[in-house]
Amino acid sequence: MTEGLATPGAGWRRADGPAAEARGKRRRRGGRRGGGGEVPMVEDAQFTSYYGRPIIKPPVWKSPDVPLYLFLGGMAGSSSIIAAVADVTGRPSLTRTARYTAGGGAIASVVFLIHDLGRPERFLHMLRVFKPTSPLSVGSYILAPFGAAAGATAAVELLGWFPRLKRFGGVVSALFGGPLATYTAVLLANTAVPSWHAAHDELPFVFGGSAMAAGGGVTMIFTPVAEAGPSRRTAVAGAAIELAVMHRVESGHGIVSEPYHEGRPGTLLRIARGCTAAGAALTVVAGRKRAGAVVAGVLLAAGSLLTRFGVFEAGLVSARDPKYTVVPQRERLAARELARENGHAPTVTR
């Protein structure tokens, strides 16, 4: 078995980053004055894992099913909260639009989830046992009542039946809307996928902010501007949260942040950032005009969708490349060893 940290061609220097290269140059220039310093006697080694295989098993979740499920569920969750606020504040057009968005998004998200699972009964099997320590189990018990409440509320809204039932269903779906918008981030971060797991503190805020931007943007498109105030405020606040926290995800976790700004995931996330920022700015400047509200809503929804695709694909990239697993492990081991040598208790990190 070869001892390795990276796939062939990636190289140890890339895994350690520019700082390692700088240290190597300083060592070669160092030594006694007038001397030649330390000279490497062999060429730089290229490291690989056993047969070039990933160290961890990449997720078997499929694209576009799972990213669409993440996007639609988040949009539906935030829309249900907007609908409840609109109902209480006397905005019938916004209430109706948000209920349709929540119900339609909930049903569509379940369709994509079941398509990814392969057979409908697999979703029902997830409801057989409730396990509080499993994000997947808890998420199933969030999605099921939310989908039922949001779908029923949209149906009776469309038919014009049972006004009291509509309000009750709207309240129930709003209670589950916030958890639905964020539990999928906890689910991703609870895996061994390096770029998801390292961002376990930030991803729920990214997904929550992205859901707010999507729900606010979509409801803003189909609601008269006179009633769309809650949608505009939700969209702008969500966009600000998403942009601020996503910057931390992309730059705050060392080597495992690389997939978020390189290759296809990096491209998707850069476009998402541009759409979200432009949509939020246009909402502030021209959100009270019909054309401005429509364009801003489309940009916000597109930014949210691309964010989910970018985060999803960045995780897959980090799972396939051994360096994103091994380099952080060795860094943690080195930190613990240094702490023991200095007489300090080692810090336990996830």
**Percent of the chain whose predicted confidence (pLDDT) is above 90:** 63
Q: Which residue's entry shows tokens 């958890």?
A: 179
Has residue 51 been placed in a domain?
A: no
Asked if residue 223 is part of any domain, the answer here is yes
Range of the domain at 221: 64-328
- pLDDT tens-place string over residues 81-140: 999 999 999 999 999 999 999 999 999 999 999 888 888 787 777 788 888 888 888 888
**Residue 344 within a domain:** no
Instruction: Please tell me the predicted confidence (pLDDT) of residue 14.
Output: 41
Q: Tell me the mean pLDDT in the region 19-23.
A: 44
Question: For residue 197, which of 53, 325, 68, 332 has the smallest C-alpha distance?
Answer: 325
Please say if the pLDDT value at position 343 is more than 90.
no
Query: What is the DSSP annotation of 301-350?
Result: HHHHHHHHHHHHHHHHHHHH-THHHHHHHHHHHHHHHHHHHTT-PPPP--
**Nearest 5°: phi and psi at 348?**
-90, 125
In a domain, 35, yes or no: no
Structural domain contains residue 252: yes
Number of domains in the chain: 1
pLDDT surpasses 90 at 165: no
* Residue 39 scores a pLDDT above 90: no
Assess whether pLDDT exceeds 80 at residue 208.
yes
- pLDDT at position 133 is 81
Return the pLDDT at 217: 97
pLDDT at 78: 97
What pLDDT, on the 0 to 100 scale, is given for residue 61? Answer: 87
Check residue 11 and give its pLDDT: 38
Reply yes or no on whether the pLDDT at 348 is more than 80. Answer: no
DSSP state of 47: -
Q: What is the CATH number of the domain that holds 171?
A: 1.20.1630.10
Residue with the larger pLDDT of the pair 31 and 117: 117
Would the pLDDT of 65 be above 90?
Answer: yes
pTM (two decimals): 0.81
Instruction: Give the pLDDT band (50/70/90) at residue 9.
Output: very low
Selected residue with higher pLDDT from 73 and 57: 73
- Domain for residue 281, yes or no? yes
Model confidence at 346, pLDDT cuts 50, 70, 90, reads low
Q: Is the pLDDT of residue 46 over 60?
A: no
How many CB atoms sit inside 10 A of residue 324's CB? 28
273-310 residue pLDDT tens? 999 999 999 999 999 999 999 999 999 999 999 999 99
Tokens of 113: 């989830």
Q: Give 3-state DSSP helix, strand, coil % of the chain, rounded to 5.
A: 75, 0, 25
Q: Is 31 domain-assigned?
A: no
| pLDDT one-digit tens code per residue, 212-256 | 999 999 999 999 999 999 999 999 999 999 999 999 999 999 999
Judged against a pLDDT cut of 50, whether residue 149 lies above it is answered with yes
pLDDT computed for residue 176 by the predictor: 96
Is the residue at 306 inside a domain? yes
Of 14-28, 65-79, 85-99, 148-162, the range with the lowest mean pLDDT is 14-28
What integer pLDDT is reported at residue 4 of this predicted model? Answer: 42
